[in-house]
Structure 1
Amino acid sequence: MLAPVSSSPVALIIIDMQQGMRRMPAESRNNPQAEATILRLLSAWRAAGQTVVHVRHMSLTPGSPFWPGQDGAEFQPELQPLPGEHVQEKNVPDVFTHSQLERWLRVRGIQRIVITGVSTNNSVEACARSAGNLGFDTLVVADGCYAYAKTDFDGVPRSAQEVHAMALANLHGEYAQVIGSEVALALLA
Structure 2
Amino acid sequence: MTFQTDLNDAVLLLVDFQQAFDGPPWPQRWNNDVDRNALALLAAWRKARRPVIHVRHDSVETGSTLRPGEPGHAMRPGFEPLAGEQLVTKSVNSAFIGTDLDLRLRRLGAKTVVTCGISTDMCVSTTIRTGANMGWAMMLVEDACDCFALPDGKGGTLSAEDVHRAHVATLGFEFCKVTSTDTLLEAL
Give runs of ≥4 in structure 1 deviating > 6 Å.
none
Distance 1:2 1:97, change over 3 A: closer
Where in structure 2 are the equivalents of 1:65-104 lying within 5 Å? 65-104=65-104
Q: Secondary structure at the match of 1:13?
A: strand
Number of residues of Structure 1 aligned to a counterpart in Structure 2: 186
Partner residue, 1:181: 181
Give CA deviations for 1:117-176 in whole Å, capped at 9, x if unaligned.
100000010011011111111110110001111122444421010000011111013111
**CA root-mean-square deviation:** 1.9
Q: Which amino acid in 1 is paired with 2:106?
A: R
Q: 1:139 to 1:100 in 2, by over 3 A?
A: same
Aligned ranges 1:97-176 → 2 under 5 Å: 97-176=97-176
Post-superposition shift, 1:187?
Answer: 3.1
Asked if the contact 1:138/1:175 (under 8 Å) is kept, the reply is: yes
1:65 shift after superposition: 1.2
Change (3 A) 1:16 1:58: same
Amino acid at match of 1:75: M
Deviation at 1:88, TM superposition (A): 0.4
Task: Kindly state the Cα deviation for residue 24 of structure 1 after the two structures are TM-superposed.
Answer: 4.5
- CA deviation after TM superposition for structure 1 residue 26, in Å: 9.1
Rounded to whole Å, the distance in 1 between the matches of 2:64 and 2:5 is 42
8 Å contact 1:4–1:187 — kept in the other structure? no
* Identical positions, percent: 33
TM-aligned CA distance change 1:26 to 1:61, over 3 Å: closer
Q: Which amino acid aligns with 1:146?
A: D
Given that 2:119 and 2:145 are in contact with CA atoms closer than 8 Å, whether structure 1 keeps it comes out as yes
| Aligned positions of 1:19-34 closer than 5 A | 19-24=19-24, 28-34=28-34
1:179, CA displacement in angstroms? 0.9
- The gaps in structure 2 that reach 5 residues or longer are none
Counterpart Cα distance in 1 of 2:56 and 2:35: 15
* Maintained 8 Å contact 1:3/1:187: no
**Counterpart contact for 1:4–1:186, Cα < 8 Å:** no
Q: Which runs of 5+ in 1 are unaligned?
A: none
> Residues 24, 34 of structure 1: CA spacing in aligned structure 2 closer, same or farther, 3 A cutoff?
farther
Q: 1:125 to 1:27 in 2, by over 3 A?
A: closer
Instruction: Provide TM-score, normalisation by structure 2.
Output: 0.92
